[in-house]
Structure formats: structure tokens, C-alpha cells
Chain A
Amino acid sequence: MRYRFVLALAVLWAGPAAGQTLFEWPDTAVDVSKYTTIEECWAAVGRVRRRIAEEKEWTDANRGMWRDTMPDLVQGTAVEPLPERVRETARACLSRFADPEAVPIDAYWILVPLYLHAGWDDRAWALVERRMAAVSDDDPEALAAAADTMIDILRGSPKGGHHALAVQPPRYDLVDELLARYADRISDRVLRFRAYSRSLSWATYPPGDSVEAKRERDRATRVLALFDSLADHEIDRLVQQSQSMLTEIEAYRAQFGALMELSYGGREALLDSLRSSTSAYVKLTKQFEKRLPPVLGQLYAEATGGFAIGSRAPAIEADIWIGCEQDPCEPRPRPGRISLVVFASPGECVGVIAGPGEMYLDRCAVMLIRLRRLKQRFPELDITTVSRSLGFWGYLKEGITPEREAELTWRWLNSFGVEAALAMVRTDYWRLPDPDARRIDTESANDRNYTFGKGGRVQSGAAFLIDEDGIVVRVDDLTALIEVEAEFTELIAVLFERKGARAGK
């Protein structure tokens, strides 16, 4: 009783400020010594990984390291080794589960990645072998399923997308080892094909003669060879098993085509051809396209802007020009200049800004930052941004005219350091009859011209690289999360090199 009284008194004396425990930040430090189950270790590793990722973002942001100053490699983080804190957490927590022969085999899908996180490759492999040995050769379905699951784990794409279990960097060496050891045990060729096809990275692959590139090339060759060896009834089975299977096969071939370009010296050959002439470059690109089956050729053409390359770039039409170095602005692209024509309309890219949460760097800004850097690298590059009026700008509607849209767009581009001429087209539009009244924008002349007969609207972010003779060399999406900037940089450098060489003659 006396203690209760003292306790009550202590609470009263604590006062209101001390009573604010509601807002005390919880202790999020991971005490792995308390964890006694595999699942707790999984959770602990996940928390540490998540925390490190957030800290990194925060630290980078505080240093002012925004995306525009970072390398343009979006796959970069996935191939880096895990931070030491994650490895330490895995090692400390797994000390109770360190023997791969003694752990429950059902937990292999958690323990194999955690062993790899800990740096215990030998234990991970021992558990892989234990798991595969547990499946009978007489059951090809089970064997293929086990191989599929294991391949997914080793290449960093665990089933269910559990971030904590994503092996980093992907262990394609172990994938190859697994296939070498076990693929032939899968007697059913269709299932074996599926296991092999699963082993392709699908990620951006390193060009050249690196070990990773050779491995990827070997796997792609095996997958395609195995597919070509399938009989018709086996392909029918593939289609029955998965509606998307044939599409995937086509994609493998597209991948293979790109690999040919990138890995078998194709990239260098293309650049060499461009050094010679744009027509030689276009011819070689078309040859790559023709070496592929029709559907794949189409995909390849889409990826490289094949619908446009080799064509003469049409003159940009505009009602309002801003930011030109010379007067008049037109014609653009200018004869004798290496040009980049970029469709960049904030209304299409940012859309309607409905609050402060939408005013931050996003993929639109990525496009602008790339433009700025290209201009910084190549001051002589003639950049023309092409926009069209939409009837609003960000959050402004009342009083907005095409002239005002052009002015605001120009200031917006400038604020990201983009030095380029702006061509604004006054968009013709009509409205569905009242009361629907939706605005229907008609295609502009620039849309018609720059789709080169395809029709439709040119998407914001589409960039057309044009040589000094006015011929389109490359088309790509500057907002895409791939190495667009690096590719453009290579090509622009060659074009300027070629132009310099011509001038020197």
C-alpha cells in the first residue's frame, strides 16, 4: 500500500512535460541477441536494410546530392554488395542456424538468401544442394519448381518480392552452377527450358567482355538454342502453360538481339559506322533489325527509333518562339548544326499540380537535368524544346493564354538550367458537346511530322538526335529510367568528332 502511494506521488510530480511519453521515439535498434527464430532474423535483416536505405537517401539529400549530380545508373545499387551492417546483422542473428545440415529444410527460401547476406556462400550452397537432393528425379515438375525457386532466390528476385531476402548482388555464378548441376536432371525439356529461361537477368547488362556479360551471353545462347530445339507439340505445351510464354520468348530474342549489338562488338561497329556517315550507321542498324525475326525486329526498331532514323528531320513549326540565339528562330533544326529536338511540355509531364506534395523533382526533372548536362557537355549542341498549349499551367487556369504558357514554360525550363529554344504551338482543340465539354486536342503539325507516318501524339520526353545534314540518328525517351543519356552522349560525341574531322579536311 505504501509503495502504491509513493508511485502515485511520483506520477503526479512527473508533471505534464514528463508525461509526454506518447511522442518518445521508439527504440528501433535491432537487438539480434533476443531473436530465436529464423523469421525474426529475416525481419531484423529487413529492418536494417530498410533503415540504411532511408539513411542513405537522407544523407545524400543533405549533401545536396540530388539525382542530377549522381551517375545515371539506376541499376547501380542492385549490383553493389550489401552494407556491412546488414552482413553483421545476418551473421549475428544466424549464429543459432549456422549449420545447413541441421536447419529445417522448409526454411531454405529464407536461409539461402540470409546465408548469402552473411557472406556464408559455402553454407548457402550446401543448403541449395540439400534442397535439390530432397527432390526425386522421377518428379520433373517438382524438380523444375525447386530449380525455378532457387534460381529466383539466387538472382535476387525472391518469390513474394520480399525486399529483405533479395540477394545483392545477384549471384549468377551460383545460378550457372545450379543449372550445370541440375538442369539435365529435369527430364521434361519444356520444364528444363523454363528453368534456363528463368536464368536470364533481364536487367541492364554490362557490355563488352566482362565476366558478367559473357555469362549473360552464354545463358541467352543456351535459352535460344533450347527453344529452337523444341518440337511443335512442346511449344504448344509452353503456350498452354502460360499465355505470356511466347511473348517472353520473343522478348528473349529481343534481348538476344540487343546482346548481339552490345556484346559482339556491335556497339563499337555502330559508332564506327556513324563516324563514317549517318547513312552507314542507319544501314547497319537496319541490318541488325533484319537479322531478327519480324516481331523482334519491330521491337528493336521501337527501342532504337527505327521508325524515324535515316529520315530527314522535318522543320519544327511554332506560333511562339522563345530563347533563340538568332532572329528569326526558324528554321529548326538548323542546317549545318547537330541538333536535339525534345518534346517537353510541363502540362503533359507534371500535369495539374493540386498541392505542395506534387512540387518535387520527378521524372520530368530527370529529363530536364539530362538536357542540361548534354548542353554542358556539348555547348555547340543545338537544343530545341517543342511544346504545345494545353489551356492550363501547373495550377493556373484563369487568364492562361498560349503566350503565357510559353513564357511560363520557358522560365520553368530555364530554372532547371536548360538552355534551349522553345517552340510553342497554339494547339487547335475542340470540345465534346455540352454538357460533357471535355477538351479534345488535335494533333499538331509537329506531332504529325515527328511520328513519321505512325500518327498519334509525340510523348513528352521524346528526343530526336539530328546530324548536321538534318538526318535523324537516334530517337529515345529522355524520361526513361535507362542509360539514355550515356547513349546520346556517345552518339553526339561521334557526330561532333565527325563534324570536326570534316571541317579539318
Chain B
Amino acid sequence: MIGRSLHDGRILSPDDCRALLRRVHALAEGGGDTAIRVSSWWHGELRWARNQIRTLSDRRDVRLTVIRTVRNGRDGAVTTNQLDDASLEAAVRAAERQSRMGAKIGRGVGFYPQFPHYEPFPNAAIWSDATFEAAALARAEVARRMIAHAEAQGMLSAGYLEVRAAMTATLGTEFPELRTGEHAFWEQPYVRWTQAQGSMTVRNAAGTGSGWAGLSSYDWRRIESASGALAERAVQKCVASQDPVALEPGRYTVILEPQAVADLMEPLIQSFNREPPEMGLTSPWRLAYDEALGLWRTKLGMKVVDERITISHDPADPDQGIVMHPLDLPEPVTWIERGVLKNLGHDWATEVEKLKGWHAVRGADAYRMSGGDTSLDEMIRTTRRGLLVTRFSNVAVLDGESLLSTGLTRDGLWLIENGQITKAVKNFRFTESPLFVLNHIEQLGEPVPVFRPTKREGDRLRPAIVPPVKARDFSFTSVIDAI
């Protein structure tokens, strides 16, 4: 259990954070308002290449931004990672100097009622003691076991294992008479989370085959326990993908493994925002301008994909935990329900002004896509001619309206003929829309957690649970040489 161990400095504990905020607030001079945003992160990293560990590090940092608004001055913001008294005082003074350089006249003048009170969401399943306490040697031991799999087969492997912890909090002093609790509604109470992620690529010595496996979760134990299976999977894929043959580009029936589905769906997932289509901006969900009402209609309520598809998120799901702001809707959100567009993420102001509730609705930062009960083997067995895709890379949107995208197959592509995998195939560039794929589904498998890593230290969690999909008429447009 985490107790004093937070005080070892990996990230700021709630008590340390509160004490720090108090210290900074006390340094303000000359009246006015002070707002402070503090975040800290710890990042344990291990990277290997050619079966040798090259980097094993633990890094951490803290960012404290103090925003001072002296009376009638503008906002002056200074960020520091030095928390000694002299540095903090210097930061506050610098912010005050900035504030005096401009004017934002009449702030808070006039009557305003008390701020509304929003309860913080309890943020289920985003913190793992195991992740936070994963020592460098433990990570090295897992990596060693994964490398051993590749070495035993005479393969070369590269990969990484990362464990992270982060916290953030904001606290201001603006309008104390209007506050109904410690935090105003726009502030983030203290929240902390962990993230673990692992990725392994295996190549044969001749460089003619490549396999990959990866997983991400808030809990290091899941990576640790799955490490053997991940390594075995990457090795198997590498062995099976050696010496690929070139096929003609064209439309193929495809069996997309869950990771390939997640990679392909990313542009779709990122598009679940309400404001752009309602403002008439490019979006797959913009329908047409309604002259009578003087507004842009959207596709909300319309069937947009196969009725077997539901894309939703439950923040209380232990596999779907995310960091929530008090303004966020503390309930499950379903964006696509049985193929019908049911919801789009939007900010708090949109909800308050135009809609029924008083919470922001999140976009699909984290999501679960519904599936079916067809196994991957069954999908292959029932395919007369098609391709099995491990994953996609470099996916880029070509057209924001149709979500037509392009990208590459990577780390294993196989031809299926008459219900059997017959040969490895050279990688293709695809030019296809995820919406098209979701309208040409033949079979769906069981959804599983996929690799959806966070990029930078302190990034928030974005877990995804996605099924394998068999779809027809998927468009491959050219052969590429990369393995």
C-alpha cells in the first residue's frame, strides 16, 4: 500500500501538494488573484535493441505554474520546476511583474452568484501500487525473459517497457466569496494515475520477417503476467511472416486483428466531437445547414455503421479507468449504439447553453467497441480468399468528411485461401475509411484490451478494448517494401 512511499519524491503526494500550494499562495504580494497548476510525473523506462538492454532509467519532474493577476493587471504566468523557497518566490515575483505589464480591467466587477458545486469523480481503476513500485531491476527481469524468447529462436528483438505515475492539481484564490468548496468548478482536485506499457518487435536475422506484440494498462502486473505470451506472439508472427510474396493491390476481404482495428479506428475515435459539425466545420458527423432553423444539422440519431457496432465507455469499468475532471459527466457514455450515432463529446459550455445537462461529455479518450463471438480461427476458416492483418502504422486522414485514411500494414500480413493461411504477403499501403469498414463487416470477435500507449510523461490514460473484425472489400492501393 502506498503510504510514505509517495514521499520518496516520485510524484507529489496529496499532502505534499497541498503544502506546496499553500506555500506558493503565501508568497503572493500586492493583492489580486493567484492560481496554481501543479503536476508531477515519474517515468521508469527500459528499452532494448538487438536483444540487448540499451536504456534503463528512472526520471521524474515537477511543473508548477503560478498565474498571478494583480488588481486590474493581466494574467502573468510563470512555470518552474524548482521548489525551494527562493525559486518559488522568484517565480511569483516574475508572474506579478508580467501581470503589471498589461491590463484586464474590471475583473469580477458586478454581481455574480455563487459558483456551482461539482463533486470530484472517484476515478476508479487508474492507480496501481504495483506500477508505482515497479523497480528497475524488476522491469529488467521481465525484459530479459522476453528477449530470451527471441534469442531461443535465433531472432533479434527490440522493444520497450515503461511504467509511469503522474499527478495533477489546480487551485486558485479567485473570488473566495463565490466559492462553495475548496475548488472552484473549473479547477482540478488532486488526482494521480499510473500507466504501464510494453511493446516488442522481433525480426529474423535475414531481415525478411517481422512480428510484433504489445499491451498497455494502468497496472504493471498485467504487462508482467502477459510478457511471456507477448514475446511468444511476436516471435511466432516473425517466423510466420518470413519471405513474403508480393500480391496485386486491390480490394480484399480482411481479417483485422484487434490491434489493427484499433489503429484503423483512431481517426474515427478522435472525431467524436460535437462542436465542429455544429459549427459547420469538416467532420464526418456534419450533415447539412438547416436554413429554417439557421443551424448546422448533424448525423446524431442516424445509422452510420453496421448495427452490430456499439462504441462506448464506462469510467467505472476496471479496464477503462480514465482521469476525470469534476465537470465531466460521471456516467457511461455511448457514442455509437447499434450502429446509430447517439452522442458526441462536447465541452461544458455547450452543454450548459444548448443541451439538457450541466456536465461536459467526453469524447472517446477511452472506449470499448462491441464485438461478437466469432473466433479468429473461425474467421480464417470461413474465408475463401483474404488477408490477415496484424496492425497498421502511419495512419493519416486524407479527408475529414469521409475519414478516408491511408497507412501501412506492418509486422505480419498473410494470405488466406480456402480457409487456410497459405503464405506471408509483402506489406501494403491501404486507402480506406474506417466508416467504410464498419459498414462492410462480416464477422466480429471478442473485444480485448489493445496497445494504446501514452506518448509523453504525464499524459492521461486512454485504454481501448476492441474486437477483431472481418470485413469485405478493404482497399489496398500499393505494395511497399518495408517488412
Chain A contacts to B: CB under 8 angstroms: 16-17, 20, 22-23, 25, 54, 57-58, 60-62, 66-67, 347, 351-357, 359-361, 365, 368, 390, 392-398, 408, 411-412, 414-416, 431, 433-440
Say yes or no: is B86 at the interface (Cβ < 8 Å to chain A): yes
B88-99, CB under 8 A of A: which get 1 and which 0? 001101100100
Which B residues between 284 and 302 are near A, CB-CB below 8 angstroms? 293, 295, 297-298, 300-301
- Of the A-B pairs whose beta carbons lie under 8 Å apart in the complex, a sample of 16, sorted by A's number, is A16-B86, A20-B90, A54-B101, A57-B105, A58-B103, A61-B105, A66-B105, A353-B112, A356-B172, A359-B175, A360-B104, A412-B110, A416-B110, A436-B298, A438-B278, A439-B354
Say yes or no: is B33 at the interface (Cβ < 8 Å to chain A): yes
Cβ–Cβ contact B116 & A360, under 8 A: no
Cβ–Cβ contact A365 & B112, under 8 A: no
The segment out of B49-57, B129-137, B234-242, B341-349 that lies at the interface is B341-349
In the bound assembly, the distance between CA atoms of A390 and B300 in angstroms comes to 23
Q: List the 6 closest pairs (A to B, CB-CB), nearest first.
A: A361-B106, A415-B111, A61-B72, A57-B103, A23-B90, A397-B358
Cβ–Cβ contact A395 & B116, under 8 A: yes
Residues of B near A414 (CB, < 8 A) are 111
Cβ–Cβ contact A16 & B84, under 8 A: yes
Residues of B near A351 (CB, < 8 A) are 349, 353
In the bound assembly, the distance between CA atoms of A67 and B103 in angstroms comes to 12
Please classify the interface of chain B as helix (H, G, I), strand (E, B), loop, or mixed, using the class held by over half of its residues.
loop
Residues of B near A66 (CB, < 8 A) are 105-106, 109
Which B residues between 347 and 365 are near A, CB-CB below 8 angstroms? 347-349, 351-358
Determine how close the nearest CB of chain A comes to the CB of B166; give it in whole angstroms: 23
Cβ–Cβ contact B106 & A16, under 8 A: no
In the bound assembly, the distance between CA atoms of A433 and B86 in angstroms comes to 59
A414 closest partner in B (C-beta): B111
Say yes or no: is B144 at the interface (Cβ < 8 Å to chain A): no
Residues of A near B106 (CB, < 8 A) are 66-67, 360-361, 365
Residues of A near B297 (CB, < 8 A) are 436
Determine how close the nearest CB of chain A comes to the CB of B273; give it in whole angstroms: 14
A439 closest partner in B (C-beta): B354
In the bound assembly, the distance between CA atoms of A396 and B348 in angstroms comes to 11
Residues of B near A396 (CB, < 8 A) are 113, 116
Known contacts A23-B78, A25-B97, A439-B354; decide if A60 and B103 are in contact (CB<8 Å). yes
Cβ–Cβ contact A356 & B353, under 8 A: no
Partner among A392, A397, A398, A435 whose Cβ is within 8 Å of the Cβ of B342: A435
Cβ–Cβ contact B107 & A352, under 8 A: no
Cβ–Cβ contact A438 & B354, under 8 A: yes
Say yes or no: is B122 at the interface (Cβ < 8 Å to chain A): no
Known contacts A436-B298, A438-B295; decide if A392 and B174 are in contact (CB<8 Å). no
In the bound assembly, the distance between CA atoms of A62 and B300 in angstroms comes to 51
Residues of B near A436 (CB, < 8 A) are 297-298, 300-301
Cβ–Cβ contact B186 & A355, under 8 A: yes
Which B residues between 48 and 98 are near A, CB-CB below 8 angstroms? 71-73, 75, 78, 80, 82, 84, 86-87, 90-91, 93-94, 97
Cβ–Cβ contact B94 & A360, under 8 A: no
Determine how close the nearest CB of chain B comes to the CB of A451; give it in whole angstroms: 15
Say yes or no: is B108 at the interface (Cβ < 8 Å to chain A): yes
Residues of A near B71 (CB, < 8 A) are 61-62
Residues of A near B301 (CB, < 8 A) are 433-436
Residues of B near A62 (CB, < 8 A) are 71-72
Known contacts A22-B90, A23-B90, A352-B353; decide if A365 and B109 are in contact (CB<8 Å). yes
Cβ–Cβ contact A438 & B355, under 8 A: yes
A357 closest partner in B (C-beta): B75
Q: Which residue, A17, A23, A390, A398, has most C-beta atoms of chain B within 10 A?
A: A23
Residues of B near A440 (CB, < 8 A) are 293
Say yes or no: is B190 at the interface (Cβ < 8 Å to chain A): no
Residues of A near B75 (CB, < 8 A) are 357
Known contacts A54-B102, A356-B174; decide if A439 and B355 are in contact (CB<8 Å). yes
B162-186, CB under 8 A of A: which get 1 and which 0? 0000000000101100000000111
Chain B contacts to A: CB under 8 angstroms: 33, 35, 71-73, 75, 78, 80, 82, 84, 86-87, 90-91, 93-94, 97, 100-113, 115-116, 172, 174-175, 184-186, 278, 293, 295, 297-298, 300-301, 341-343, 347-349, 351-358
Residues of B near A408 (CB, < 8 A) are 111, 113
Residues of A near B342 (CB, < 8 A) are 435
Determine how close the nearest CB of chain A comes to the CB of B107; give it in whole angstroms: 4
Residues of B near A416 (CB, < 8 A) are 109-110
Cβ–Cβ contact B355 & A17, under 8 A: no
Cβ–Cβ contact B300 & A57, under 8 A: no
In the bound assembly, the distance between CA atoms of A354 and B80 in angstroms comes to 26
Known contacts A360-B104, A365-B106, A397-B352; decide if A412 and B111 are in contact (CB<8 Å). yes
B342 closest partner in A (C-beta): A435
Partner among A20, A22, A394, A439 whose Cβ is within 8 Å of the Cβ of B112: A394
Cβ–Cβ contact B186 & A437, under 8 A: no
In the bound assembly, the distance between CA atoms of A436 and B344 in angstroms comes to 9
Known contacts A356-B172, A435-B342; decide if A395 and B108 are in contact (CB<8 Å). no
Known contacts A354-B349, A395-B115; decide if A360 and B109 are in contact (CB<8 Å). yes
In the bound assembly, the distance between CA atoms of A328 and B80 in angstroms comes to 61
Residues of A near B100 (CB, < 8 A) are 58
Residues of B near A435 (CB, < 8 A) are 300-301, 341-343
Determine how close the nearest CB of chain B comes to the CB of A1; give it in whole angstroms: 32
Partner among A25, A67, A365, A395 whose Cβ is within 8 Å of the Cβ of B352: A395
Determine how close the nearest CB of chain A comes to the CB of B100; give it in whole angstroms: 6
Residues of B near A20 (CB, < 8 A) are 82, 86-87, 90
Known contacts A357-B75, A412-B111; decide if A16 and B94 are in contact (CB<8 Å). no
Cβ–Cβ contact B185 & A395, under 8 A: yes
Q: Which residue, A20, A60, A62, has most C-beta atoms of chain B within 10 A?
A: A20
In the bound assembly, the distance between CA atoms of A70 and B448 in angstroms comes to 66
Determine how close the nearest CB of chain A comes to the CB of B68; give it in whole angstroms: 13
Cβ–Cβ contact A354 & B348, under 8 A: yes
Residues of A near B358 (CB, < 8 A) are 397-398
Residues of A near B184 (CB, < 8 A) are 356
Determine how close the nearest CB of chain A comes to the CB of B364; give it in whole angstroms: 15
Cβ–Cβ contact A67 & B33, under 8 A: no
Cβ–Cβ contact B112 & A359, under 8 A: yes
Cβ–Cβ contact A25 & B349, under 8 A: no
Cβ–Cβ contact B107 & A360, under 8 A: yes
In the bound assembly, the distance between CA atoms of A390 and B107 in angstroms comes to 24
Determine how close the nearest CB of chain B comes to the CB of A196; give it in whole angstroms: 40
Cβ–Cβ contact B110 & A393, under 8 A: no
Residues of A near B116 (CB, < 8 A) are 395-398
B357 closest partner in A (C-beta): A397
In the bound assembly, the distance between CA atoms of A353 and B293 in angstroms comes to 25
Residues of A near B348 (CB, < 8 A) are 352, 354
Residues of A near B108 (CB, < 8 A) are 356, 359-360
Cβ–Cβ contact B105 & A67, under 8 A: yes
Cβ–Cβ contact A58 & B343, under 8 A: no
Determine how close the nearest CB of chain A comes to the CB of B86; give it in whole angstroms: 4
In the bound assembly, the distance between CA atoms of A360 and B103 in angstroms comes to 11
In the bound assembly, the distance between CA atoms of A392 and B113 in angstroms comes to 12
In the bound assembly, the distance between CA atoms of A116 and B203 in angstroms comes to 72
Determine how close the nearest CB of chain B comes to the CB of A63; give it in whole angstroms: 10
Q: Which residue, A355, A412, A436, has most C-beta atoms of chain B within 10 A?
A: A436
Known contacts A66-B105, A356-B172, A438-B355; decide if A25 and B293 are in contact (CB<8 Å). no
In the bound assembly, the distance between CA atoms of A22 and B356 in angstroms comes to 49
Residues of B near A54 (CB, < 8 A) are 101-103
Residues of B near A361 (CB, < 8 A) are 105-107, 109
Cβ–Cβ contact B353 & A58, under 8 A: no
Given contacts A23-B93, A394-B112, 7 further A-B contacts (CB under 8 A): A20-B86, A20-B90, A352-B349, A360-B108, A392-B352, A397-B358, A435-B300
Residues of A near B343 (CB, < 8 A) are 435
Q: Which residue, A347, A394, A408, A414, has most C-beta atoms of chain B within 10 A?
A: A394
Cβ–Cβ contact B102 & A58, under 8 A: yes
Cβ–Cβ contact B109 & A356, under 8 A: no
In the bound assembly, the distance between CA atoms of A117 and B112 in angstroms comes to 45
